[in-house]
Structure formats: structure tokens, C-alpha cells
A = this chain, B = another copy of it.
Amino acid sequence: MSKRTEKTIVDIAEELKLSISTVSRALNNHPNISVKTKEKVKKMANKLGYRPNAMAAGLRNSKSRTIGLVVPRISMFFPATISTVIQNKLYEHGYHVLICQSNDSLEQEIALAETLYSTRIDALAVSSTLYTTDFSHFDIFKDNNIPLVFFDRVPKDYQAKVVRGDDYLGGYTVTEHLIEKGCKDIVHISGPLTCSLYVDRVAGYKNALRKHKIPFQKSRVFYQELTKENAQQTCEKIFAKKPWPDGVFAANDTTAITILEHCRKLNLRVPEDIKIVGYSNDPRAEIITPTITSVDQFPALMGERVAAALLDLMQQPASTPQRYSEEIVPIELIERASSAAAETTAKKVGKKKVK
């Protein structure tokens, strides 16, 4: 294999005794080129096994047709689903998506911003690290009029297009739900407050308590990265001394599941002795016994909104003042067995899948 095998439009031009520009235009279906020539060119391109060089084209018109996507991790249900949707949607429009993971490390997120900029992505969508409070590493994109969309984990005070869930309402709804089912002492396991969405959920939690005249107790809220390990530790703390809570609002399903398992070990009955609600509606929530009440955040819908926002921003001329609107994706409480009211437990559990 002698290398030198890469065919270019120059080769096509020579072969056909045409100019390079004609070939380029023919391949791009430029209207000024006659149908006859176009056919000839395309046929020859095929024959020679020509493949366009995206880097050359990209360099020429400073468009990479690639979009950056930064998420904490794709192994988590919620961001994975969103990423899938974004990618498929944008692919339909001829864009590649560079899916990158920050692994919830601010340092990695900063590095990613830098290298993604170097690849001259046409737009960027990001769901930030839990610990990102300063978003200035994304300034480059703004400064250069590169569409920038934040979703799910979004900045608080940073001018940019935002697509997020209704976390205040989520927190409120869950808490009120638990109260209505009879809980008087509800623990909330939250993510760190460096992430605004948890701030909102906590606010919802507090307001629901207030509305129902239940005193808010600082000691009943825990702030932590929502991993299984942390959930286990927190369980130890919660159940170290009585009184035990009769309700738990966990800010994700991994945490809810871990608590459920812990309760099982303590021979606490769920939902009779303690009710549990998670968040995000992870597929595991409806598989475990008892099934866990959770909050659906409609990740597919969010993905579509993000994709639409990206396409929209790329459409409008760079001169257009970037739109900094905020879109809110609805949430829906999915009631399951883990939070059923005591007397209706049997019914509720039996209810699912009534074909």
C-alpha cells in the first residue's frame, strides 16, 4: 500500500478536465452547475472512491458541523437519555455530536471547554458539574458568538440559553405528596447546594412544609453527592437515634434505592413505617420491590428542546443578540408503592399493570 491513496477533488478535476471549483460546486449541488456536469462529477467521485475531507472544508468556512455536549457522565440514566436524543436529533440535521464527560470534576470540565473550543465546534450544550459555580470557562463561546445552551444543571447567574426542569415544583410536589400520605417527619437528602437545581428542590421542600404547618428542621436535610456510598453513610446517621423519620425525599433514585435497602435491613416496612420518594424516574425505580415513587423529568423532551435550541441558535446570524431565554420542562410525580398511604397499600401495589 503506497499511501497517496486519498482522492481529492483535484483528482476528480484532472480526470474530467474540469476546474476544481466546478467539481466542488457540482458535489455541493450548486445551482450554477449543469445537471450533466453534476452527474459526471458524482459518477467519477464514486468511481475514484472520493470522500470529502471535513477538516479542509471546515477550515475554509470555519464550520466544523460538530457540536459539543458536556455531561457529568453518560452512565447515568438521565443524562444518557438526553444525550441520545440530542445526538440522534442533530444527526438528522447533519451534525456530529462530541459527547464528553466531565466526571463531575470541575477541572475536567474546564479542560473540556478549552479543547472543545479548539476543535471549533459550532455550538455547545452543557450540563455542568455539581461543583461548578463559576462558569467563566464558557466565556470563550459567548465571546465568539458560539451558541451555548445549558440544560438540567444550569448556572444561576450566567447569561445563556437555559433548558431546565421545574425543580422547585418537583421539590414541592414530592414533599406535599408525602405529607398528604401522612408523613409528619420528612428527611430530605439533597445534592450539594453548589448546584442550583438542588437549591430549588430544597426551596420546594421547605415551602411545602410551611404550607402544611410542619416546622422545618435543619437537621433533617443532608447535602451530599448522591452516590450509593454517601447514601449508606447518611442512612447510618439518620437511623442512629430515634425518632426515625416517617418519610424520605431523596433527590435521586440511587439514593432512594439505597435507603430502601437499608430499611429492609432494619425491618422497617415501606411504605407502612416509612415512605420513600426518589427523583428522575430511573428504570430501577419501578423494578425494585416495593416500586419507588419518583419524579419523571421527561429526559427525551428535554433532549429535544436542547437540540431544537441549538439548531435555532445556529440558524440565526451571529449578529442577532443571543437569546438568553429560560425554558422549563415540566415534571410529573409518578406514584408507586413506596409512598402509598397505609390503608390503600394493598390496592396500590396490586394496581400496577392491570392490563
Contact = CB atoms under 8 A, between A and B. Distances in A.
Nearest to A143: B5
Contacts of A118: 51-54
A6 interface: yes
Contacts of A265: 353
Interface in A270-304: 283-284, 287-289
Contacts of A120: 53-55
Interface stretch (A27-35, A82-90, A176-184, A193-201): A82-90
Interface string A35-75: 00000000000000101111110110010101000000111
Given A55-B119, A88-B101, A288-B289, A75 B81 contact: yes
A140 B103 contact: no
Interface string A104-138: 00000000001101111000000000000000000
Contact of A96 (B49, B81, B119): B119
Contacts of A73: 84
B64 A140 contact: no
A83 B74 contact: yes
Interface in A177-215: none
A322 to B, nearest CB: 10
A52 B49 CA distance: 31
Contacts of A140: 49, 51
**Main DSSP-derived SS at the A contact region:** mixed
Nearest to A76: B80
A116 to B, nearest CB: 8
A6 B144 contact: yes
Contacts of A75: 77, 80-81, 84
B117 A51 contact: yes
A20 interface: no
A99 interface: yes
A351 to B, nearest CB: 13
Contacts of A3: 145, 318
B115 A96 contact: yes
A145 to B, nearest CB: 6
A257 interface: yes
A84 B162 CA distance: 26
Given A5-B143, A288-B288, A74 B84 contact: yes
A1 B265 CA distance: 62
Contact of A58 (B55, B98, B103, B115): B55
Contacts of A84: 73-75, 101
Contacts of A353: 265
A284 B253 CA distance: 12
A51 B114 contact: yes
Given A1-B145, A5-B144, A98-B98, 11 more contacts: A3-B145, A6-B62, A51-B117, A54-B118, A55-B119, A75-B81, A75-B84, A97-B99, A265-B353, A288-B288, A288-B289
Interface of A: 1, 3, 5-6, 49, 51-56, 58-59, 62, 64, 66, 73-75, 77, 80-81, 83-84, 87-88, 91, 96-101, 103, 114-115, 117-120, 140, 143-145, 257, 265, 283-284, 287-289, 318-319, 353
